Structure 1
Amino acid sequence: MRICLAGIAAMGVTAAASAEPGPLVEPAELKTVLDEQDPIVLDIRGEAYAKGHIDGAVSAPYALFRGPAENPGQLVPEDRLETVYEELGLAMDRPVVIVSEGDTNSDFGAAARVYWTLKSSGFGKLSILNGGTAAWVAAGLPLSKTPVQPQPTELDITWDNRWTAGTDEVASIVKGEREAVLVDARPAGFYEGKQAHDAAERPGTLPGARNLAHSSFFRPDATAISPVDDVAALKSSLGIGEGEEVVSFCNTGHWAATDWFALSELGGIENVKLYPGSMVEYSASGHEMANVPGLVENLLNQFRRSN
C-alpha cells in the first residue's frame, strides 16, 4: 500500500514563512534558516562528511546513536548520550537540523532515529533535512570540506519514556494484557517471515501486527519523505482508535523510526512509540511470534544467513 501524501503547507510541516522550521525542512528553507538563525546542523553520514558537507555542519556519525552489532537498535545509555551531546556542542535552546545522505528512502530512517533519540532526550527544536545532502546538492547549494570542531557544552539530560516501548511492554501487548496497535515497518518479506535480519534469532513478526512498510511514505523512486495529508485515512487503515497507543517496530528500530516520525511528527497522531530493539531483541526473548516459518524452512533460513 502506498499512502497518498500531500498538503505540506496546510499542515505547517515545512512552511517557509514560519519563524522556525518544523519537523521537515526543505533545502531552500534550510538555506534561509542558516542565513537568519543559528541552528546546529548534525551531519550523520560518517566518513562522507570529509568529502563535502553543509557549511558549518558538525560530524555526528549515526553509529553514535546506535547499539552494539548483536543488538543495533538497543538504546545508548543515558550517561553516554549526554557525553555525546556535550561533545557535539548541543544546547537545549538551539534548533538542531539532522542531515543524512538521502540516497535511498531507507536512509531516512537514520535521520528519524536520531530525531527520536534527541526528542526523547529533551530537545524540542528539531528538524530533518528532507532528502538529505543529495537534495541539498540537487538544489544547487554548495558543500564545504572545512571540518567543524564544536565547542563542548554542559548538559543534564533525562530520558523521556513517552515515545519508547520496551520488550516487556511489547510482550504484554502481545499477551493482551494492554491495548495498543502494533505497526511493522519492514518490507513484506520480513513481515511474512520469509526474510530475517542477520542478528535476529528467528524470522517472523509480532502477533496481531499490521504491516506498514517505511517505503509507503515515499513516492516511487523518491528519497525525500512526503507529508501526511489524510491522517484520518491513515489511522483507519491501521485501526488506530482515538488516543490509542501505537508501537512502531522493525528489525533494529531504523525503518520503524520512519513510521514513528510519519505518524507522530507529520501526522500529529498522539501516543506513538518506537520499539528500539525491535525484532532482533524480541526474537531473542523467547516470547510468542507470528508468521514463523516451519522447522525445515527455518533451518534453511539459518543456513542461508550463515553462508
Structure 2
Amino acid sequence: MIRPGLLLGVDDLDGLEAVVVDTRLALTGATGRERYDAGHVPGAAYLDVDDDLAAPPGLGGRHPLPDTAAFVAAVRRAGIWRGSRVVVYDDGPGTAAARLWWLLRDSGHDDVLVLDGGLAAWTAAGRPVSTEPVVPEPGDWDGTPGRLPVVDAGQARAVARDGVLLDVRAAERFRGEHEPIDPVAGHIPGAINAPLSGNTDQLGRFLPDDELRRRFEVLRVADGVATAAYCGSGVTATQTLLALRLAGFYDAALYPGSWSGWIADPTRPVATGR
C-alpha cells in the first residue's frame, strides 16, 4: 500500500508512472555501482551516495550534505523532473534510499517514495532484474534545501540534554566496544541507542506504523519533545527519520555530521558504555 510521501510496496510499482532510482551503498565488497550493474530494477537509474548525495568528507563528517548545485545536477542526470513521482530503493532496509528521500523532501520535492524492502523485497517477489544500463533524458528538477529540520553539534548536545537524541548505530558501536569505521569509539553524551535494524523486518521492510510508534515511545519519543537522530555519517539516520514519520512523529531533526562530524572536534566529549 502506498503511504504518500513515504513508502510503497513492490506490487504498488506495477503500472506506476515514476522515475526509479537505485542508491545502493556498500561499505565493503562490491561498490554500489557494481551492484547496480550486476542487476537492478528494470528502468532504474543510479545515483551514488558518495559522489552524488554527499559533499567530500571533512569537518562536517564522512558524508556532509551535498552542495546544492552538485545535487541538482545529479538529480537531473537521473531523469527527475519538477513534476516527477520518484521511487528510490537500496538493498532492502532503506538505509541509503532514505538519504535521497530526505534530500529531495528537504529541497521541496514531496512526491518521493521509498520502495519498502528494496531490491531484496523485489527479488523475493519473483520480479526480474536488469543489467542494462539506464541513461535517462536529463530532467529539469530544481530545488532549494532547508525544508526539513537539522541540528548542528551544539544543538545535538542540547537535544541530548533536554529531549531525545537517537543514535541509530549498532549497540556495540554505541557502547564503544567496536568501531570499524571512525577513529574514535563511543557516542554523544546523553544520546539513546536506537539501532536502525529495529525499524524493519528480516527482509528490510518497515514494521507496521503502530509497532514503530510503540518502539519510539519506549525510547521516550513523544509529541512536543525535541527529537533528533544521528548515525556514523548522516546517511543511515535518515532511515530512522522515515520510520519516525511512519510512526506519526514528523518533527524529528537530522544531525548531518553525526558521529564522524562530532569527533572531528577533539574538544567535544565522548561517552562509552550504556
Please identify the structure whose Cα radius of gyration is greater.
1
2:259 partner letter: M
Structure 1 contact 247–272 (Cα < 8 Å) conserved: yes
- Structure-2 residue corresponding to 1:299: none
Does 1:52 pair with 2:39?
A: yes
1:141 partner letter: R
- Structure-1 residue corresponding to 2:73: 83
Q: Residues 177-226 of structure 1, C-alpha deviation per residue, up to 9 Å, x if partnerless? A: xx4310111111111121235334x222112111111011123x432222
Aligned-partner SS, 1:127: strand
- Structure-1 residue corresponding to 2:249: 269
Deviation (angstroms), 1:237: 1.1
Q: TM-score of the superposition, structure 2-length normalised?
A: 0.86
Deviation (angstroms), 1:230: 4.2
Q: Distance in 2 between matches of 1:72 and 1:241?
A: 30
2:257 partner letter: G
- Structure-1 residue corresponding to 2:164: 181
Task: Give ranges in structure 1 of 5+ residues lacking alignment.
Answer: 1-13, 294-307
> Aligned pair in 2 of structure 1 residues 230, 72: CA closer, same or farther (>3 Å)?
same
**Residues 1-307 of structure 1 aligned to structure 2 (within 5 Å):** 14-15=1-2, 23-31=6-14, 35=15, 37-45=16-24, 46-63=33-50, 64-69=52-57, 71-102=61-92, 105=93, 108-173=94-159, 179-200=162-183, 202-219=184-201, 221-230=202-211, 233-264=214-245, 266-285=246-265, 286-291=267-272
Q: How many residues align?
A: 262
Task: Give ranges in structure 2 of 5+ residues lacking alignment.
Answer: 25-32
2:56 partner letter: P
> Aligned pair in 2 of structure 1 residues 139, 155: CA closer, same or farther (>3 Å)?
closer
CA RMSD of aligned residues (A): 2.3
Structure 2 contact 174–273 (Cα < 8 Å) conserved: no
Structure 2 contact 188–271 (Cα < 8 Å) conserved: yes
Q: Residues 22-72 of structure 1, C-alpha deviation per residue, up to 9 Å, x if partnerless? A: 5221111112xxx2x420000123222222322221122232213435532
Aligned-partner SS, 1:248: strand
> Aligned pair in 2 of structure 1 residues 40, 232: CA closer, same or farther (>3 Å)?
closer
2:248 partner letter: G
> Aligned pair in 2 of structure 1 residues 260, 89: CA closer, same or farther (>3 Å)?
same
1:165 partner letter: V
Deviation (angstroms), 1:110: 0.7
Q: TM-score of the superposition, structure 1-length normalised?
A: 0.77
- Structure-1 residue corresponding to 2:29: none
